[in-house]
Structure 1
Amino acid sequence: MKVLVIEDDHKIAGSIKKGLEQEGNTVDLAFDGETGLDLATEVNHDVVILDLMLPKMDGIEVSKSLRKENIHTPILMLTARGGLSDKLIGFESGADDYLVKPFAFEELIARVNALTRRPSEIKNSKLIINNLELDINRFEVKLENKNVGLSRKE
């Protein structure tokens, strides 16, 4: 699994990276929101672990920006802010889960594994190239707006 950790505290980021790598994962690190957003948009990750309070761009803005760009990678917010309003704002920004620091590493792993077990959401089920249209949800292919008869296997 490929994980992006966006955390400004180098010690916490390093500990998370080490633990995730010991579990067999590949980990990319970013220490500010802008760099994290760039990595998240340029590289395909299975999950993003995102701190809320970051330099350059906070975690809420990173999360909103990812969702605005139609990036549906699961986001786990990992932050010291544990108030109900903070959690609600995090979820509203696009986070899929929220874990408050300090945390048990075993719980972090369990939450990451739970997030990656969920099927990816497909927002746009149609692929259109010139006069060819493929609808993945309906298993239909159209050429020049006419259905192409394909078997289920095709």
Structure 2
Amino acid sequence: MLKKGKTVHILIVEDDERIVGFMKRGLEAEDFNIDVASGTSQAIDMVNARFYDLLIIDIFLGADDGLDLCQTLRRRRVESPILIMTAKGTPETERVSKAAGADAYLAKPFAFEDLVATIAGLRRSYSPSGLLKEVHAK
């Protein structure tokens, strides 16, 4: 379990109900609070309505584009960490995802343990306000 004293709210933006079900069940079992959006306009409305500790966004959302959503959220000063998922796991796709404002990248298919490990890494890197913690070498 990754939760440390506070409810962690995650928004999954994914249009594949099978993947959503897999992720939602697993993450709720880890005590995360999960909301789901199937497209960009719904995701923007949900982000405007509440703070999310993490956003998990699929690149391909039917007619919508997850990278465009990522860029839009960053332009709107959304500082929550963003994890991009894609079935097209190439170095170029990873570079483009990070250029769009993503903090992490995960290629599908993935093991649930890899998703949890990526979330744990993002949580260690971010303070409660969503800003990167400074790392001081000693």
* Corresponding position of 2:56: 49
Aligned to 2:34, the other structure's residue is in SS state strand
Aligned to 1:15, the other structure's residue is in SS state helix
Runs (5+) with no aligned partner, structure 2? 1-7, 133-138
Aligned partners of 1:40, 1:116: CA distance in 2, in Å? 18
Query: Do residues 17 (structure 1) and 24 (structure 2) align?
Result: yes
Instruction: Say if 1:6 and 1:36, in contact at 8 Å, map to a contact too.
Output: yes
How many Å apart are 1:56 and its aligned residue? 4.3
Q: Per-residue CA shift, 1:8-36, capped at 9, x if unaligned?
A: 10010111011000000100001112211
* Corresponding position of 1:103: 110
Instruction: Say if 1:7 and 1:32, in contact at 8 Å, map to a contact too.
Output: yes
* Corresponding position of 1:79: 86
Query: Do residues 121 (structure 1) and 127 (structure 2) align?
Result: no
Aligned partners of 1:94, 1:47: CA distance in 2, in Å? 13
* Corresponding position of 1:91: 98
Work out which structure has the larger RCO, using CA pairs closer than 8 Å and 6 or more positions apart in sequence: 2
Aligned partners of 2:71, 2:112: CA distance in 1, in Å? 26
TM-score normalised by the chain length of structure 2: 0.84
How many Å apart are 1:41 and its aligned residue? 2.6
How many Å apart are 1:38 and its aligned residue? 1.9
How many Å apart are 1:42 and its aligned residue? 2.0
* Larger helix share, 1 or 2: 2
* Corresponding position of 1:128: none
Runs (5+) with no aligned partner, structure 1? 123-154
> How many residue pairs were aligned?
122
Q: Per-residue CA shift, 1:68-97, capped at 9, x if unaligned?
A: 000010000111011121111100000000
Letter in 1 for 2:52: H
Larger of the two Rg values belongs to structure: 1
